[in-house]
């Protein structure tokens, strides 16, 4: 048996569960082993990566490399900003209308509600301003209605 084998003869990677759901994804075994190896002493810094100050040069290098990787993979030009935000996708349900509606009653946002998540987003946006449900709320979402039936506010 190799070091990558478990006692039952199956490799570590074949025993790992697959995650096809939304949210956290399964990381490649190679990545996890690299994290494990550097867990107590990240890149020779003498600290765990979670213990690094966000003001340290080691952390600044991590952020710079992550931003460049994202720019390279997604072909994002320098004229666009890459933001690292906390809170997950649902936090944006409030952050977007909070910034675009500016808590002004005169501002209206059109929401094309076609399912569970867009309905959650529209409901959250209603806390910050007027929301126009382009597609009226439905008991069951089966598709997107014809464009000529949308009620978009101009």
pLDDT at 1: 36
pTM score of the predicted model: 0.54
Q: Is 113 exposed, middle or buried (0-12, 13-18, 19+ CB in 10 A)?
A: buried
Predicted confidence (pLDDT) per residue in 62-82, tens digit: 999 999 999 999 999 999 999
What average pLDDT does this structure show over 122-138? 86
């Amino acid at each position: 048996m190799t070091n990558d084998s478990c006692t039952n003869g199956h490799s570590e990677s074949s025993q790992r569960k697959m995650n096809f759901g939304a949210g956290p994804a399964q990381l490649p075994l190679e990545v996890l082993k690299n994290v494990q190896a550097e867990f107590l002493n990240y890149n020779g810094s003498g600290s765990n990566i979670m213990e690094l100050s966000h003001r340290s040069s080691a952390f600044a290098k991590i952020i710079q490399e992550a931003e460049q990787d994202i720019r390279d993979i997604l072909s994002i030009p320098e004229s666009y900003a890459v933001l690292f935000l906390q809170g997950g996708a649902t936090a944006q349900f409030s952050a977007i209308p909070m910034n675009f509606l500016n808590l002004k009653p005169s501002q209206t946002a059109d929401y094309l509600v076609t399912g569970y998540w867009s309905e959650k987003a529209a409901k959250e946006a209603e806390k910050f301003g007027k929301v126009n449900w382009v597609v009226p709320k439905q008991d069951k979402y089966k598709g997107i209605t014809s464009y000529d039936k949308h009620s978009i506010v101009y």
